Homo-oligomer: A and B are copies of this chain.
Amino acid sequence: MALVSVLTPILVAVLCVVIALVFRSFQNTKTTSKPESKPKGDERPWVDEDLQDDTEISSKDNEGDDWLDSGGEEELPHVPYTPTRYQPEEMLERSKQFYSLLNQRRSVRFISPEPVPRSVIDNVILAAGTAPSGAHTEPWTFVVVSEPETKHKIRLIVEEEEEINYKQRMGNKWVKDLERLRTNWVKEYLDVAPYLILIFKQAYGILPNGKKKTHYYNEISVSISCGLLLAALHNVGLVTVTTTPLNCGPQLRALLRRPANEKLLMLLPVGYAAADATVPDLKRKPLDDVMVYI
């Protein structure tokens, strides 16, 4: 009995250590299992899981300030640059015409199945590729899909996720916004449009030695490039609608066999406007609401 009493403090200490270890491993299990848990079908907002990998975080953390629109070579020589110069009257006229052109652009969901020349698509992609990018990484991949079976697979993936999104995941407010605008998860244009352009941002590049190379500001760069693409499409009389399919990124990336460093940013169905195309009767803000002059 005396022996037991002597041993009691040791027994207590050992048991405490054991329990602390058990508790700790339980805590760790809880922590590591968290990212694996699927979003539940409730009203909580969520983000595309494909965008939540560590690369995305490190690329975000590595932002620098200056875009350095210049190449990856060791020391680039500088060359003279003399862009075309216009007289003030001509400048004013060109600025008016360009605004007038772009102001006629609208997002269109009613797209004609008529074929569109492939070379026109090549040229609008080339135009998009002239965008500036952080450290001139040109972190974009434009996947142009015209093959009907692939288009249909894309539609199935997008509609399946969209239906879940609309019905279960979205906040009441967003669903209400959608109802008001008669948009739902049926995306007929994904079958009908002669081209689907899926725009991937390259979150990082791979150096010859296999190491990852951060692509600074990749999302902003690719979005700027999309701006040029929208202008180029409208300039040739084609229409599209800017969509960002939620939660479909990983599946579409797998379907289109894009590498792990590429994340889907946008999906644009492209073609002529359908003969009976309509758009919501919206207005744009006047200049005074978007510009402040100092």
Contact = CB atoms under 8 A, between A and B. Distances in A.
Interface of A: 1-2, 4-5, 8, 11-12, 15-16, 19-20, 23-24, 27, 45-48, 58, 60-71, 73-86, 88, 91-92, 94-96, 98-99, 102-108, 116-117, 119-120, 122-127, 129-132, 135-136, 138, 140-147, 150, 162, 165, 170-171, 173-174, 177-178, 180-181, 183, 214, 216-217, 219-220, 223-228, 230-232, 234-239, 241-246, 256, 258, 265-266, 272-273, 276-285, 287, 290-294
Given A123-B96, A171-B62, A283-B71, A244 B227 contact: no
Nearest to A171: B62
Contacts of A180: 74-76
Nearest first, the 10 A-B pairs at minimum CB distance are A227-B227, A223-B223, A69-B107, A70-B280, A95-B123, A71-B282, A78-B278, A45-B61, A76-B280, A224-B227
The secondary-structure label for the interface of chain A is mixed
Contacts of A272: 85
Integer count of this chain's copies in the complex:
2
A246 B64 CA distance: 7
A165 B63 CA distance: 11
Nearest to A59: B45
A130 B284 contact: yes
A150 to B, nearest CB: 5
